[in-house]
């Protein structure tokens, strides 16, 4: 039948004797299915009968990893927390001629700031009101946005006017 709903409900109790209800249902009149706790409990996912490896908190925050936090996450950065006892990180894998990006946005726009790595050019860029690039060799290029740039090299400081393709100032390290 079109528009029918299906509900699977599992009822249990937590260690304090409080009711815990896990519900899965489909919305016959909506675009999705849902899996949720009907009671005020976190929703955890695990594999191989192990400790939870991913937990959706009642606050809406998502925790990835096993064990308990060694420290409390900063409240300004706890929406996604990855933790464990060894080395951990986040990987952004993109094509060899493409960029890997992290975007920062607000009500004024969805790209107010950006951290990007160019695989093709082999450099990292941060963008806000201005930009700077960290090149593969360690050089730092500051772009002022008006066709001028300053390049900090391991052995020299170069201020360049790109419009005339000329170096305006070059300072070379002694020795």
| Side-chain half-sphere exposure of 123, counting CA atoms within 13 A | 14
Task: Return the closest-CA partner of residue 134 out of 156, 107, 153.
Answer: 153
Residue 68, pLDDT > 60, answer yes
Size of the chain, expressed as the number of residues it contains: 175
Beta bridge partners of 108: none
Is the full-model pTM beyond 0.75?
no
Task: Return the closest-CA partner of residue 83 out of 105, 101, 59, 62.
Answer: 62
pLDDT score at 143:
66
pLDDT in tens, 136-166: 777 777 766 555 566 666 666 666 655 555 5
d(CA 149, CA 116): 19
Beta bridge partners of 115: 102, 126
Percent of the residues in the chain that have a pLDDT greater than 70, as a whole number: 69
d(CA 102, CA 91): 11
Q: Which of 32-41, 42-51, 71-80, 160-169 has the lowest mean pLDDT?
A: 160-169
Task: Return the closest-CA partner of residue 77 out of 57, 61, 90.
Answer: 61
Average pLDDT over residues 11-37: 80
Q: What is the dihedral of CA 78, 83, 88, 91, to 10 degrees?
A: -40
d(CA 62, CA 16): 24
pLDDT in tens, 83-128: 777 787 888 889 999 999 998 888 888 878 888 899 999 988 887 7
- Count of Cβ atoms closer than 10 Å to residue 130 Cβ: 10
What phi and psi values does residue 34 have, to the nearest 5 degrees?
-130, 145
More confident residue, 131 or 7: 7
Quickly tell me which residue has 């009642």 as its tokens.
58
Residue 81, pLDDT > 80, answer no
């Amino acid at each position: 039948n079109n528009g029918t709903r299906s509900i699977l409900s599992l009822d249990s109790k937590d260690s304090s004797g409080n009711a815990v209800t896990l519900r899965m249902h489909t919305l016959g009149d909506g675009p999705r299915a849902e899996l949720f706790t009907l009671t005020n409990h976190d929703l955890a996912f695990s594999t191989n009968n192990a400790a939870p490896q991913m937990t959706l908190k009642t606050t809406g925050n998502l925790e990835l990893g096993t064990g308990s936090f060694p420290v409390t996450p900063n409240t300004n950065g706890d929406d996604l927390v990855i933790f464990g006892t060894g080395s951990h990180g986040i990987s952004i894998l993109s094509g060899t001629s493409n960029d890997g990006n992290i975007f920062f946005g607000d009500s004024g726009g969805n790209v107010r700031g950006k951290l990007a790595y160019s695989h093709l050019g082999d450099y990292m860029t941060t963008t806000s009101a201005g930009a700077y690039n960290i090149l593969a060799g360690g050089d730092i290029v500051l772009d002022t946005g008006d066709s001028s740039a300053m390049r900090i090299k391991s052995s020299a400081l170069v201020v360049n006017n790109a419009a005339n393709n000329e170096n305006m100032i070059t300072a070379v390290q002694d020795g």
